[in-house]
Structure 1
Amino acid sequence: MKTLTPLLASLLAAGACAATSLCAGAATSSREFKTSFDCASTRASIEKLICRDPQLAQMDIELQRLYLLVLTDDHAVPPRNKVEIDQQFWLDARNQCATDREPKACTIRSYAERAYQLRQGSAIARTKDPSRLTEGPVAFRCAGLNALVAATFFTVNPAVVYLKWANTSVTLNQQPSTIGTRYGGKDFRGSYSFWYEGDDALLQMPGSAEMSCKAEPVG
């Protein structure tokens, strides 16, 4: 897992307007955005949603970039042939978001989790490409929590963070913050918040107080 880089802070700061009225123009529109697939010929309803949504379109392009990088990695875990199989299963699962009560939120979670998997399993996928829209996983050790928290950042607009620890994961969206960077969201368990600045972070889970966290150094 990687620790925070100076560029990560600047990339996330660039997406901070997503939580303000200045980003009203970034809402879903009727125009089509560039994606990894042909929007003109697709019949999948989720792909049609991705084509019309700038945030999802950015996530799709970045996910495809990561996937192609992993396919060049002889040391990827799992190996490349398994990655190809897993990618097809992932695409099928992503398309099932069409039946979810909140299709866009489901699709965001799907992309965020897959980005974590690809970056976690391949050093090549974690290379510092200037065009990248993902960072991490960054390992945080939180007081009172036995497991490390892996944070993978999607620096799209609005920005997203995928947090994973033990057998639990959650995807959070960037929220307004005058200091540091804050994300929030909820699942069936309740509400979560994650704030960080530099190597310091605060994590709050449903029904618990904020936990102080520290980024682990690169090993």
Structure 2
Amino acid sequence: MIPRSLPTLLFLVLSPAAAMAQDGPTFDCAKAESSAEKLICVDPDLATLDRRLADRFAAAVDVAEGLDTGAEETTKTLRAMQRGWISGRDECWKEPDLRVCVEKRYLQREAELVAEFMLEPPSETVDLTCGPRALTVNTFPTALPGLRVEEADSVYIGAQLAADVPGTYYLRSAGGLVMKDGTIRVSDIYGEETECEVQG
């Protein structure tokens, strides 16, 4: 006969292990190969970022799969970009400070996913005229602010360059945007800048 106290004892014994599993990253640390993965496995804050990004990615996949048109292609592209992002994260071993690089990659990727798939409402929306270009700029309240720039049928996604450079954003494969000190400038992939004016 099993003592009534045994289930309680098993719960107390197993609970710490379960808690540790929830506190760790989303991947198996026993199979960690890259310097980035090994660091994440011993750094609770980075492990938290890994779990948070996994949640964001899952939410983005849900949005992509639910699109009325282009769902399959969008989901396929999203998954491919995530694999590419993981490869880029693992290249952080080349940087002078591995941890700073890994954290920045996570925060930027989270910002991109939120902005691209509108996982949160934007914190601010501004209409701009930048020379002949008409842009709608949405910023998002992620840990590192995200950016979504709409121009006619095109959408450009980016994030703030770093926590210590507020108002300066990169746009993935499309240049950047600076909104600070009372001026707004947009730049293309060649670095050519155009002054912008707020509309409305």
Greater Rg over alpha carbons, structure: 2
Distance 1:122 1:167, change over 3 A: closer
Which of 61, 64, 74 does residue 66 from structure 2 map onto?
Answer: 74
Partner of 1:39: 29
**Residue 86 (structure 2) pairs with residue 91 (structure 1):** yes
Partner of residue 110, structure 1: 105
Aligned: 1:139 with 2:131: no
Cα deviation for residue 39 of structure 1 reads: 1.4
State how far apart, in whole Å, the 2-side matches of 1:77 and 1:141 are. 31
- Residue in 2 that maps onto 1:50: 40
Closer/same/farther in 2, CA of residues 34 and 70 from structure 1, 3 Å limit: same
Q: CA RMSD in A?
A: 3.6
Q: Note the 1:1-219 alignment, pairs <5 A.
A: 33-72=23-62, 73-75=65-67, 79-123=74-118, 126=119, 137-141=122-126, 150-154=138-142, 160-162=144-146, 169-173=159-163, 185=164, 192-193=165-166, 204=180, 209=181
In structure 1, distance between residues paired with 2:97 and 2:135: 30
Compared CA separation, residues 33 and 45, structure 1 to 2 (3 A):
farther
Secondary structure, counterpart of 1:71 in structure 2: helix
In structure 2, what residue type is equivalent to 1:105?
V
Q: Distance in 1 between matches of 2:36 and 2:72?
A: 28
Letter matched to residue 79 of structure 2: E
Query: Is the contact made by 1:46 and 1:97 (CA closer than 8 Å) also made in structure 2?
Result: yes
Larger relative contact order (C-alpha < 8 A, sep ≥ 6)?
1
Matched pairs, number: 139
Q: Is the 8 A contact 1:139 1:151 kept in 2?
A: yes
Q: Distance in 1 between matches of 2:89 and 2:56?
A: 16
1:80 Cα deviation from its structure 2 partner: 0.5
2:148 and 2:162 map into 1 onto residues whose CA distance is 11
TM-score of the superposition, structure 2-length normalised? Answer: 0.53
TM-score calculated relative to the size of structure 1: 0.49
Deviation readout 1:161-215 (Å, 9 max, x if unpaired): 4567789753444xxxxxxxxxxx1xxxxxx346xxxxxxxx64xxxx3669xxx
Structure 1 residue runs of 5 or longer lacking an equivalent are 1-31, 127-134, 174-184, 186-191, 195-202, 213-219
1:66: Cα distance to partner? 1.5
- Give the distance between the partners of 2:101 and 2:87, measured in 1 at CA: 13
Q: Cα gap change, 1:137/1:98 in structure 2, threshold over 3 Å: closer, same or farther?
A: farther
Q: 2:124, 2:138 within 8 Å by CA — same for their partners in 1?
A: yes
The runs of 5 or more residues in structure 2 that have no matched partner are 1-21, 150-155, 168-178, 185-200
Change (3 A) 1:115 1:82: same
Instruction: Answer whether contact 2:111 2:159 (CA < 8 A) is retained.
Output: no
